[in-house]
Amino acid sequence: MARVALNLIPDALQGLCWLSAAARPRHPRRRSPHSHAEIEANLVEAGSCRYLIDGRVQLLHRGDLFWLFPDQPHMIIDASADMSLWVLIARPAFASQRGLPLPASAAERPPYARPHRLREADRLHLSGVAAALAACEDDPAHHADGLAWWLAEAARLTEQQEGRVGKPLHPAVIKALSLLEADPSLPLPALADAVHVSASRLSHLFVEQLESTVSAHRNQIRLRRFQDRLATEGVRNLTQAAFDAGFGSYAQFARVLRASTGLNPRTMLGPAAAAQPQMRSGQPRAPSAAARRR
């Protein structure tokens, strides 16, 4: 498990708050289980996602509050197209400096290791303050006060219930997820060999524990790579961007996009895309069959 340096918090602030959307993430997702020194809290605003936390898979929906402490390896596995969540991170010393009732680790108090479904009124309250926090980064003192209030209120709500215990994830699935994140074109037999189980066993574990096939999961990774590029670099050529994300053809990309989001590919470029011509002969070709195994 890797300990990463986020380096996201500006020098003038004690923490950071933003709304992260699956379709247009603010920061690229990590490709393997990791942890970081900052305390993190998340509140699902819409949709659903599947998170790997401490070797257990957690299915999270709108209104779920969950914490991530420095001792907790975690990674997002997949998310619905409409998923969005508030992310709050705070410097390691911030909680103690403010006297916040937070444990140093999730192991100290079990409720902090589990997600909690909030009442709608509580969700709306925390979401409203989070939105205000995201808008006041130019006032460090006010931002720090708001961050402390949000964390203290989230801690109070956490202490009110035990939370849900996630399902343990098989070690072979955890390793396979990381390998697919690194190379979604890895064929199933090679993937199974790398995690030391048979191909049929790995396929069964994915369906049983993730409620997804290996093929469907690899296509979601490719789609996310396309969305990350769209958000960070911009895309002018949809066909080339689909190939760069790992899809074997534009048709495959369009099929996966429609199934996941209901969108036509060209709508992702905005209104101006309607005036652009469709791809014709002479456009970039797909990679070789060896490079685009599904």
pLDDT digits (tens, 9 = 90+) for 46-82: 999 999 998 899 999 999 999 999 889 999 898 888 8
Q: Give CA–CA dist 84/18, Å, rounded.
A: 10
CA-to-CA separations, 65 to 61, 168, 262, in angstroms, rounded: 9, 20, 28
Higher local confidence (pLDDT), 259 or 69 = 69
Q: Using alpha carbons only, what angle is made at residue 237 by residues 232 and 242, rounded to the nearest 5 degrees? A: 75
Q: Give yes or no: residues 201 and 118 share one domain.
A: no
Answer with the one of 126, 147, 167 that is the final residue of a domain: 167
Q: Cα dihedral sign for 72, 74, 80, 85?
A: positive
146-199, pLDDT tens digit by residue? 999 999 999 999 999 887 877 888 999 989 988 998 899 999 999 999 999 999
Q: Give CA–CA dist 199/254, Å, rounded.
A: 28
In one-letter notation, the amino acid at residue 291 is A
CATH code: domain of residue 233: 1.10.10.60
Answer with the one of 167, 191, 224 that is the final residue of a domain: 167
Structural domain harbouring 258? 170-292
225-236, pLDDT tens digit by residue? 887 777 667 667
Residues 262-287: what's their mean pLDDT?
51
pTM value is: 0.72
| Mutual angle of helices 214-232 and 171-182, in 10-degree steps | 40
Q: Give yes or no: residues 134 and 275 share one domain.
A: no
The pLDDT, as a whole number, for residue 2 is: 67
Q: Give yes or no: residues 153 and 260 share one domain.
A: no
Residues 240-249: what's their mean pLDDT?
87
Q: Give yes or no: residues 74 and 205 share one domain.
A: no
CATH code: domain of residue 31: 2.60.120.280
Q: Give yes or no: residues 162 and 39 share one domain.
A: yes
Q: Give yes or no: residues 207 and 230 share one domain.
A: yes
2-51, pLDDT tens digit by residue? 677 778 999 999 999 999 988 677 777 777 888 999 999 999 999 999 99
Three-state DSSP state, 85: strand
Answer with the one of 167, 185, 216 that is the final residue of a domain: 167
Q: Give CA–CA dist 178/222, Å, rounded.
A: 14
Size of the chain, expressed as the number of residues it contains? 294
99-142, pLDDT tens digit by residue? 999 999 988 998 999 999 999 999 999 999 999 999 999 999 99
The answer, yes or no, to whether residue 278 has pLDDT greater than 50, is no
Q: Give yes or no: residues 151 and 104 share one domain.
A: yes
Q: Give yes or no: residues 104 and 216 share one domain.
A: no
- pLDDT level of residue 274 (50, 70, 90 thresholds): very low
Q: Give yes or no: residues 42 and 183 share one domain.
A: no
Q: Give yes or no: residues 194 and 222 share one domain.
A: yes
- pLDDT level of residue 293 (50, 70, 90 thresholds): very low
Q: Per-residue b/e over 8-36, b at no fewer than 16 CB within 10 Å? A: eeeeebbbbbbbbbbbebeeebbbbbebb
Q: Structural domain tally of the chain?
A: 2
The answer, yes or no, to whether residue 270 has pLDDT greater than 70, is no
132-158, pLDDT tens digit by residue? 999 999 999 999 999 999 999 999 999
Q: Give yes or no: residues 175 and 90 share one domain.
A: no
Q: 58-72, 87-101, 265-279: lowest mean pLDDT where?
A: 265-279
φ/ψ of 16, rounded to 5, equals -150, 150
Three-state DSSP state, 36: coil
Q: Give yes or no: residues 209 and 150 share one domain.
A: no
